[in-house]
Structure 1
């Protein structure tokens, strides 16, 4: 349940952020966007409900191990812990945003998107305050986590909204002229902040692959490969294709990119519910090894393993297959065949995974 709630939470933030950013952009620089009001209301109201799921899980777990009731445990979390305090403020802001969106006078006001984005920024700041990085590293962890989440929310939010809610094909070239640099900037911030977060939570990156957290982190990183392939076509190919052919429609390609982003949200949601392995050997004393790792790993598993990467024939073959999929993706893009390209993008992740796992040794 927690995995699903985390992914849905990221999706709600993306839809709201993307919608309000696009409403600030002048109409001649974007397609016509029609996001139903009920969807915005649902997303705003869902944020505190989805953020409450991990609090509920913690309260249930601790209540079982102590004599404290569930209600008293929830009260203690809300008053004493960072994630509890952040949830209270998030609930107030989310309900306030939903109330404003329910007012026709506010929905039609020209300042509505700016006010809504300000409230969303506060919600993102509080989400970062409740993060694992903040609890371990204070202000530094809070700033890095917030920058990471804000950048990916802006990038993926605009992408999702324009690909699924654009009602016409006007102004695509004008839209891509500003969105491509924005996406590249957000991508750079996301990668930089992500690497810093890894130094906080996963200093033993290869060794962490023995754990569920490490496997989810590896899958997340490998899913970036097809996302980058789509982003490359977004940043450099679409405008060229539009100039060559007025019939070219970038929406299916943007939808494909948004589906990859949704898969990233799902994996990130699963990642957020795992124990970060600051020390892998110590973590293995309380956390079972990943079943996926023990299934794929060729050697004999032991908690004392120190993993390292080496190049073997199996790894080379899998890497070659991944490169073939990348080449096939580019060819399918040139032929404007989105579905085969989407499948080849995902297969790049699959072959890349096996290339790395077959190269793991002790």
Structure 2
């Protein structure tokens, strides 16, 4: 339940970010994208509800541990804990946005996208305020986590809204000309902030693969491979495809990119509900190792081991297979075969995962 609620929370943010950003763009520079106002209102209302789920889970757990009533524990969390204070601000901001979206006069106002985007950005900041990075590093952690989340949701939010709510495929070339630049900027911020966050939360990146958190972090990172392959073809391969085939339709490829984005949101939702392993050896004293890791790892496991790379034949073969899948992806793109290309992108990530896991000793 908690993972589903977190995934839906990220999707709601992405839809709001994408819809409001696109409405700021002149109609001649984008396809006709119509996200229903009711859906935007539903997303605004859902954000505080979905944000409450982990708080509710924490209150139930602590209430049982400290032999307090649920109400007492929830009151303590809301008034004293950072996550509780962040939820209060999230609730107020989301209700304000919901009221505005419920007003017909506001929906038709030309300033509506600016106001909506501003409030959604505030909501993203409150999410960053409640993050692990914020609890560890205060304002610095809040800023970096918020920047990471905002960049991701703007980039992938535009992909999702364009993919599933476009009424036509007009103005695609001018759309891609500005969106490719924006996506590259968002990707740069995402990577920079993400690496910084890792130094905060997962300083022992490779050793963390022994834990469920580290495994999911690795899977999330490898899912960037098919996402970037699709982003590259959608952003830079489109013009060449049009020269070869004037009837080429890029929208289905954008939908494929949005599906990979959803997979990344799912991985992120799992990560968000696990404590990051600042000290892997200490974490292994209280947390069981990942079943994926123990199944694949060829050595003798103990909590005090330090992982290092040793590339063997199996790793090289898997790495070569990943390269073959990447080459195959581009070949399928040139021949406009979406499903095989999509599968090859995911297989490239899977083979890369296998190559890395078989390389550790």
Normalised by the length of structure 1, the TM-score is: 0.98
Q: Which residue in the other structure is 1:44 paired with?
A: 44
Q: Which residue in the other structure is 1:266 paired with?
A: 266
Q: Which residue in the other structure is 1:5 paired with?
A: 5
Larger displacement relative to structure 2 (33-42 or 71-80): 33-42
Q: Which residue in the other structure is 2:277 paired with?
A: 277
Larger displacement relative to structure 2 (94-103 or 263-272): 94-103
Q: Which residue in the other structure is 1:235 paired with?
A: 235
Q: For 1:99-248, list aligned pairs within 5 A.
A: 99-248=99-248
Q: Distance in 2 between matches of 1:8 and 1:204?
A: 30
Q: What is the CA-CA distance between 1:140 and the residue it aligns to?
A: 1.1
Q: For 1:45-60, list aligned pairs within 5 A.
A: 45-60=45-60
Q: What is the CA-CA distance between 1:242 and the residue it aligns to?
A: 2.7
Measured against aligned partners, the alpha-carbon deviations of 1:259-316 in whole angstroms (never above 9, x if no partner) come to 0010000001001111211000000111111111111111221111111111100100
SS of structure 1 residue aligned to 2:278: coil
Q: Which residue in the other structure is 2:304 paired with?
A: 304
Q: Distance in 2 between matches of 1:197 and 1:136?
A: 11
Aligned residues: 361
Q: Do 1:176 and 1:239's aligned partners in 2 also have CA atoms closer than 8 Å?
A: no
Instruction: Return structure 1 stretches of 4+ with deviation > 3 angstroms.
Output: none
Q: Distance in 2 between matches of 1:91 and 1:242?
A: 46
Q: Which runs of 5+ in 1 are unaligned?
A: none
Q: What is the CA-CA distance between 1:243 and the residue it aligns to?
A: 4.0
Measured against aligned partners, the alpha-carbon deviations of 1:130-159 in whole angstroms (never above 9, x if no partner) come to 110010011111111011001001100011
Q: Distance in 1 between matches of 2:306 and 2:202?
A: 14
SS of structure 2 residue aligned to 1:284: helix
Q: Distance in 2 between matches of 1:158 and 1:243?
A: 25
Q: For 1:321-336, list aligned pairs within 5 A.
A: 321-336=321-336
Q: For 1:335-346, list aligned pairs within 5 A.
A: 335-346=335-346
Note the aligned Cα RMSD (angstroms): 0.8
Normalised by the length of structure 2, the TM-score is: 0.99
In the alignment, structure 1 residue 254 sits paired with structure 2 residue 241: no
Q: Distance in 2 between matches of 1:327 and 1:25?
A: 35
Q: Distance in 2 between matches of 1:245 and 1:121?
A: 40
